[in-house]
């Protein structure tokens, strides 16, 4: 697909991934609309050349209708209540946004006859069922957080409507990179970087031997774009990850070193829901069907992330508290 003048809707476009995706689409010549309620998003992530920004929740029928007024040919559904702990603290909101919100986006996409929808799922759906690697058929026997349950619920809704809409599911693995800010319900990388830059303790939950697959945001964006393009993709599910395992303790050590930090690394009690010992994306299917593999190695990606956070992170964290709107 030539993206020039293609009408695209990105839900959750003011998030870290959403903002980078909007930037990339604008650069490719697409007409981009995004909807975001700014509960955890920031308008400074959005490119100035975006066609339209709708501030509102995907649960708000009026705002959602406005976003779909532009008759998107491609929809990237990224809007979600993010993070496991957030879902435990706010389970009803998690169900509403990630469940009902996803259903409404699917229904609107069918109504406007979108050519394709890419649903951004999460590696959390694998739960503790994963051993050395994942795979579309290796799912958690039971959910341990509402977020895990509702991201998989979104996949099930996508499957139900796949006979009426060309849908691709992208399970994203531990995305990090420039634009991701630290905070209570945010990812481990920006939080570790924030501590390291201040020479404050870096708190590692448990012994730090658990592994995760850290994937650079620009690689994730390219994976999403290819999911929207590939002829073999509709109806399929792809791991969007680097395929490389890194222990949490190794991650903390790398960040401390790259920041030239004096931060001590402390082991703190594990969170009750966090039982996954190993996680690594199965990259074979995405490589075969999408022609996509992650290209940015962790050391380069962390250096770019630290550079961004050193220059902009504290300023944006302090001055850009997201405006809240009703969900």
- Rounded CA gap, 281 and 275, in Å? 17
- Rounded CA gap, 129 and 243, in Å? 17
Q: How confident is the model at residue 131 (pLDDT cuts 50, 70, 90)?
A: very low
Smallest CA-to-CA distance from 98 within 55, 13, 157, 20 is with 157
Per-residue confidence (pLDDT) for residue 314, from 0 to 100: 54
Tokens 């402390």 belong to residue:
266
Per-residue confidence (pLDDT) for residue 172, from 0 to 100: 97
As annotated, the active-site residues are 147
Q: How confident is the model at residue 132 (pLDDT cuts 50, 70, 90)?
A: very low
> What pLDDT digit, counting tens, does each position of 298-321 carry?
999 999 999 999 998 655 554 444
- Rounded CA gap, 237 and 226, in Å? 13
Q: How confident is the model at residue 189 (pLDDT cuts 50, 70, 90)?
A: very high
Tokens 């476009």 belong to residue:
13
Residue 35 confidence (pLDDT) above 50: yes
Measure Cα distances from 33 to 22, 50, 115 in Å: 9, 7, 16
Eight-state DSSP code of residue 208:
S
Residue 134 confidence (pLDDT) above 90: no
- Rounded CA gap, 225 and 90, in Å? 31
Give all domains of the chain, ordered by start, each with its CATH number: 7-319 (3.40.50.720)
Question: Virtual CA dihedral for 12, 8, 241, 196, nearest 10 degrees?
Answer: -40
> What pLDDT digit, counting tens, does each position of 248-293 carry?
999 999 999 999 999 999 999 999 888 889 999 999 999 999 999 9
Q: Are 192 and 322 in contact (CB under 8 A)?
A: no
User: Whole-structure pTM over 0.75, yes or no?
Assistant: yes
Q: How confident is the model at residue 130 (pLDDT cuts 50, 70, 90)?
A: low
Smallest CA-to-CA distance from 31 within 11, 7, 52 is with 7
Eight-state DSSP code of residue 45:
G
Residue 77 confidence (pLDDT) above 90: yes
Counting beta carbons within 10 angstroms of the beta carbon of residue 262, is it exposed (0 to 12), middle (13 to 18) or buried (19 or more)?
exposed
pLDDT (mean) for 180-203: 96
Smallest CA-to-CA distance from 228 within 113, 119, 131, 65 is with 119
Tokens 């070193």 belong to residue:
257
Eight-state DSSP code of residue 96:
I
User: CB within 8 A of 266, min separation 6: which ones?
Assistant: 201, 202, 203, 204
Per-residue confidence (pLDDT) for residue 281, from 0 to 100: 94
Q: Are 99 and 153 in contact (CB under 8 A)?
A: yes
Q: Are 306 and 20 in contact (CB under 8 A)?
A: no
**C-alpha neighbours within 13 Å on the C-beta side of residue 33:** 22
Tokens 């969007």 belong to residue:
240
Per-residue confidence (pLDDT) for residue 86, from 0 to 100: 93
Structure tokens at 192: 């570790």
pLDDT (mean) for 215-233: 97
- Rounded CA gap, 50 and 31, in Å? 7
Residue 137 confidence (pLDDT) above 90: no
Q: Which residue blocks in the chain are alpha helix, DSSP H?
A: 16-27, 61-68, 84-89, 91-95, 102-111, 146-160, 188-197, 217-229, 248-258, 284-290, 298-308, 314-319
| Mean pLDDT score of the chain | 92
């Amino acid at each position: 697909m030539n993206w020039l003048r293609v009408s695209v809707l990105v839900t959750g476009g003011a998030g870290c991934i959403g903002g980078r995706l909007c930037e990339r689409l604008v650069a490719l010549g697409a007409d981009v609309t995004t909807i975001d309620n700014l509960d955890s998003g920031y308008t400074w992530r959005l490119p100035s050349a975006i066609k339209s920004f709708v501030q509102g929740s995907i649960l708000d029928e009026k705002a959602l209708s406005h976003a779909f007024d532009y008759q998107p040919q491609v929809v990237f559904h990224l809007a979600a209540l993010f993070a496991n702990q957030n879902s435990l603290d706010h389970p009803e909101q998690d169900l509403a946004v990630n469940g009902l919100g996803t259903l409404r986006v699917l229904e609107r996409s069918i109504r406007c006859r979108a050519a394709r929808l890419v649903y951004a799922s999460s590696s959390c759906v694998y739960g503790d069922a994963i051993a050395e690697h994942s795979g579309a058929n290796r799912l958690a026997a039971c959910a341990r957080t509402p977020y895990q349950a509702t991201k998989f619920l979104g996949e099930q809704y996508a499957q139900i409507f796949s006979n009426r809409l060309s849908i691709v599911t992208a399970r994203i693995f531990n995305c990090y990179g420039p634009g991701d800010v630290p905070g209570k319900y945010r990812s481990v990388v920006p939080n570790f970087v924030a501590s390291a830059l201040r020479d404050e303790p870096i708190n590692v939950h448990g012994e730090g031997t658990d592994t995760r697959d850290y994937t650079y945001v620009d690689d994730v964006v390219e994976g999403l774009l290819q999911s929207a393009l590939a002829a073999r993709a509709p109806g399929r599910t792809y791991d969007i990850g680097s395929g490389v395992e890194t222990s949490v303790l190794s991650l903390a050590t790398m960040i401390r070193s790259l920041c030239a930090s004096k931060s001590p690394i402390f082991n703190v009690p594990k969170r009750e829901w966090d039982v996954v010992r190993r996680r690594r994306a199965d990259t074979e299917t995405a490589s075969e069907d999408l022609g996509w593999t992650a290209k940015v190695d962790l050391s380069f990606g962390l250096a770019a992330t630290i550079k961004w956070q050193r220059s902009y992170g504290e300023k944006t964290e302090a001055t850009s508290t997201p405006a809240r709107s009703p969900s």
